[in-house]
């Protein structure tokens, strides 16, 4: 039977990093210091919990504020605010429709609503109603006041407008609120209170999975409590930075913070508890067992947290405010959760002793310093398969991933407003009514801002553009003229975006001051957003890959292994996108928002490499003691159960995003879940260990980890306990 020998560094004495790790481990698990650690976290939770409840107050979900400053649509917004009194304003479109035609009473009510709305606070000038040619519909455009950091100002305005329009409406008159303000209000209503619902659902899912994992009626409560408290502290930190440091937080980044905190925190807890249980067999004193568990698991957990944190911080180099804000929000969550799982959780476990593991309480077994034979379970069989046919195993796994990656050819981008929700909302129904009775772009005309001297040329150029239904001058102020152009297609369609591009090309060729005109409006915002997202992909994807590669090199102190691992996670990402695209098609949501590709890449590469880090960190430890072949197989067997549990927990946690009734949230959750499962069951379990065996000890080049003679290829491995983790 193979024995677990001490690593050379342990025999020679701890180096500086190891000494610091050992001191930290002793601090969080010490007989007296554990109480100080717990008290500190209780104080942090007391402050952070009270602030976490205010996170929704600082969310900004206005899509127009996310654009880069260089975009034409952003310049248009600035000109509108400076010269046309459009600052902090968003338009709600009140749509009235009757299937057999509007009556005189309906038209009278619409005029009365216009007068009533114009007299309300926070409402700008309300233009005369537009009536459709078929006489079956009309709409009012109502400018509503907004606030850059308080969405409630706009949503209250939309609610007030809806109440006015619906009050006294005759039976059969359909009233809907569409336009940009209506769309924002629908999103705000969806996200209102969603933080608590998502956190509750995520914790419920994790509870079930922890019960199945630990088979203990008590143990699951400890990591779950630590994860919940850590998520509250993280939300509190994000609130403080959003309120006082200008950090951009929106509904998306807020719920990702919660889900990621629960998922990643549970992963780290699973790994630490698994190692702690292993050491409880070896040490009679639980304080010593925890100190060893923290010392040996901390490098892998720290590498994981650092990889995710630094990779997400790369988003600050994005061009959109939403992207720039998401990076720090996620990084804060990861850092807080890492600190909690490596300090608060160890302190709690040591304070409570061994009894929470009941009925499977790990008892000290003298002589357990040497590795005990692993049970002949599923991971022993998997390791045996990989050990017998490594070349065939990695070839089949790679071929399966490549086949799934072919699904990327079915990816369609460019969601319309109607495709953004999984339930019926007012703004979508209002847009459908407008499209049925008016030119589809009536609710959100394109806006051209041009110097007065070029106004005539700009108007003529725009009128001649294919796809423009009508165009007219909407006034001049401060030396600038605004031209509004009603498009023939709905504002969020690909056809409308093509029309805006043709408008910009036509203005560029108009000469004179017309050539300096900028085109804004909702369609232009969507077009510029898509362009900015494409630019971000070109910049951020290579940057994130570089960060992951550097972190792997520093962790493994090798070059070949990190390159192999990086290639595996990229292939896994492509397979995840392909598989998810096929799944989206089956669910009836084939089109994705362009930002999903960068979102998926970030989380699947940063999170997906985690499981490989957990595997290879333990493999590296085992190789130093056993030799390459036996070390790889021992690492796979030992980490199999806990890392698989961690992957299932994280995937299930992200599936909770399906509770948010938006297509983007559903797709985000499913994409990450699919990718994590592929990393867990194919990449980490088969592809990586098989490649490591096939390449041989050269995988650690330029280092050399061999410390024992290689076991013959046909001889079975006797790893450490198969129910423990990294």
Q: Which residues of 120-152 are buried (b: 16+ CB within 10 A; e: fewer)?
A: eebbbebeebbbbeeebbbbbbbbbbbeeeebe
Q: CA-CA distance, 488 to 440, in Å (whole number)?
A: 6
- Low-confidence stretches of the chain (pLDDT < 70) are 1-15, 17, 60-67, 69, 85-87, 148-150, 193, 195, 251, 367-376, 705-726
Phi, psi values for residue 202, rounded to 5°: -65, -45
Q: CA-CA distance, 450 to 10, in Å (whole number)?
A: 73
pLDDT at 636: 92
Nearest CA-CA partner of 308 in 262, 260, 344: 260
The Cα-based distances of 67 to 71, 78, 408, 597, 707 in angstroms read 7, 12, 27, 18, 55
Q: How far apart are the first and last CA of the chain?
A: 21
Tens of pLDDT, residue by residue over 83-98, are 886 667 788 999 999 9
CB atoms within 10 A of CB 511: 11
pLDDT at 40: 95
What's the token pair of residue 476? 């001049």
Do 693 and 390 contact (CB within 8 A), yes or no? yes
Contacts of 576 (CB under 8 A, 6+ apart): 404, 600, 604, 671, 674, 675, 678
Q: Which helix (H) or strand (E) holds 93?
A: strand 89-97
Do 470 and 456 contact (CB within 8 A), yes or no? no
Question: 């975006």: which residue's tokens?
Answer: 497
Q: CA-CA distance, 344 to 41, in Å (whole number)?
A: 7
Do 349 and 222 contact (CB within 8 A), yes or no? yes
Do 67 and 73 contact (CB within 8 A), yes or no? yes
Question: 């209002």: which residue's tokens?
Answer: 430
Q: CA-CA distance, 135 to 106, in Å (whole number)?
A: 11
Nearest CA-CA partner of 576 in 367, 355, 406: 406
Answer whether 0.95 is exceeded by the pTM. Answer: no
Ramachandran quadrant class, 412 (left: phi over 0; alpha: psi -120 to 50; beta: rest): beta
Within 471-559, where are the H helices?
A: 494-508, 522-556
CB atoms within 10 A of CB 207: 14
pLDDT at 719: 43
CB atoms within 10 A of CB 376: 11
Q: Which helix (H) or strand (E) holds 708?
A: none
pLDDT at 61: 58
Do 76 and 504 contact (CB within 8 A), yes or no? no
pLDDT at 320: 79
Do 544 and 600 contact (CB within 8 A), yes or no? no
Walk across the sheet containing 518-520 and list its strands. Answer: 468-477, 480-487, 446-451, 518-520
CB atoms within 10 A of CB 188: 18
Query: Can you state the angle between helices 560-587 and 522-556, rounded to 10 degrees?
Result: 150
pLDDT at 583: 93
Rounded-to-10 torsion of CA 513, 514, 520, 524: -130
544, exposed or middle or buried, with CB in 10 Å at 0-12, 13-18, 19+?
Answer: buried
Do 660 and 194 contact (CB within 8 A), yes or no? yes
Do 356 and 210 contact (CB within 8 A), yes or no? no
Q: CA-CA distance, 66 to 322, in Å (whole number)?
A: 5
Rg of the chain over all Cα atoms, to the nearest angstrom: 30
Do 602 and 312 contact (CB within 8 A), yes or no? yes
């Amino acid at each position: 039977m193979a024995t677990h020998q001490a690593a050379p560094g342990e025999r020679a004495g701890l180096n500086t990093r190891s000494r610091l790790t050992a001191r930290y481990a002793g601090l969080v698990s010490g007989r007296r210091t554990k109480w100080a650690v717990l008290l500190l976290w209780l104080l942090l939770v007391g402050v952070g919990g009270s602030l976490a409840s205010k996170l929704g107050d600082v969310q900004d979900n206005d899509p127009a504020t996310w654009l880069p400053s260089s975009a034409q649509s952003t310049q248009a917004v600035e000109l509108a605010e400076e010269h046309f009194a459009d600052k902090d304003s968003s338009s709600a479109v009140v749509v009235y429709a009757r299937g057999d035609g509007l009556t005189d009473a309906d038209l009278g009510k619409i005029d009365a609503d216009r007068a009533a709305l114009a007299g309300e606070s926070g409402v700008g000038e309300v233009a005369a109603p537009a009536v459709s040619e078929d006489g079956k519909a009309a709409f009012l455009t109502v400018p509503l006041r907004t606030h850059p950091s308080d969405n409630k100002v706009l949503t209250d305005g939309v609610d007030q407008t809806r109440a006015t329009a619906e009050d006294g409406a005759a039976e059969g008159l359909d009233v809907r609120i569409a336009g940009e303000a209506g769309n924002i209000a629908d999103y705000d209503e969806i996200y209102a209170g969603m933080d608590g619902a998502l956190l509750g659902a995520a914790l419920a899912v994790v509870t079930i999975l922890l019960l199945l994992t630990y088979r203990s009626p008590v143990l699951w409560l400890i990591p779950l409590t630590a994860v919940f408290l850590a998520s509250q502290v993280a939300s509190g930190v994000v609130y403080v930075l959003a309120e006082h440091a200008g950090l951009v937080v929106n509904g998306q980044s807020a719920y990702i913070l919660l889900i990621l905190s629960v998922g990643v925190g549970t992963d780290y807890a699973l790994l630490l508890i698994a190692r702690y249980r292993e050491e409880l067999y070896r040490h009679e004193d639980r304080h010593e067992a925890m100190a060893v568990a923290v010392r040996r698991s901390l490098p892998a957990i720290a590498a994981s947290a650092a990889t995710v944190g630094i990779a997400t911080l790369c988003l600050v180099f994005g061009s959109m405010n939403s992207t720039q804000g998401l990076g720090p929000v996620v990084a804060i969550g990861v850092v807080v959760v890492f600190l909690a799982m490596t300090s608060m959780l160890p302190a709690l476990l040591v304070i409570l002793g061994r009894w929470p593991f009941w009925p499977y309480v790990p008892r000290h077994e003298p002589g357990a310093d040497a590795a005990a034979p692993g049970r002949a379970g599923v991971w022993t069989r998997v390791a045996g398969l990989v050990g017998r046919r490594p070349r065939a195993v990695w070839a089949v796994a790679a071929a399966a991933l490549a086949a799934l990656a072919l699904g990327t050819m079915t990816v369609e981008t460019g969601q319309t407003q109607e495709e953004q929700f999984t339930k019926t909302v007012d703004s979508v129904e209002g847009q459908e009514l407008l499209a049925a009775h008016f030119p589809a772009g009536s609710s959100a005309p394109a806006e051209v801002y041009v110097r007065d001297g070029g106004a005539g040329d700009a108007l003529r150029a725009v009128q001649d553009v294919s796809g423009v239904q009508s165009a007219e001058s909407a006034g001049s102020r401060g030396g600038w003229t605004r031209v509004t152009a009603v498009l023939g297609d709905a504002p969020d369609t690909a056809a409308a975006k093509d029309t805006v591009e043709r408008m910009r090309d036509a203005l560029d060729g108009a000469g004179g001051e017309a050539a300096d005109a900028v085109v804004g409006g909702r369609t232009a915002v969507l077009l510029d957003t898509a362009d900015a997202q494409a630019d971000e992909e070109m910049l951020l994807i290579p940057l994130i890959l570089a960060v992951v590669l550097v972190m792997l090199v520093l962790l493994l102190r090798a070059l070949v292994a990190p390159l192999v691992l990086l290639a595996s996670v990229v292939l896994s990402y492509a397979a995840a996108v392909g598989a998810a695209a096929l799944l989206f098609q089956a669910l009836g949501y084939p089109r994705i928002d362009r930002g999903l590709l960068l979102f998926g890449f970030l989380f699947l590469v940063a999170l997906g490499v985690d499981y490989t880090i957990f595997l290879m960190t333990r493999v590296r430890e085992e190789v130093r003691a056993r030799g390459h072949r036996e070390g790889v197989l021992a690492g796979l067997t030992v980490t199999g159960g806990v890392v698989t549990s961690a992957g299932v927990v994280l995937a299930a946690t992200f599936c909770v995003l399906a509770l948010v009734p938006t297509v983007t949230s559903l797709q985000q959750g499913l994409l990450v879940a699919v990718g994590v499962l592929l990393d867990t069951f194919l990449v980490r379990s088969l592809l990586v260990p098989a490649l490591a065996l096939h390449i041989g000890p050269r995988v650690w080049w330029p280092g050399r980890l061999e410390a024992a003679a290689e076991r013959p290829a046909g001889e079975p491995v006797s790893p450490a306990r198969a129910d423990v983790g990294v």
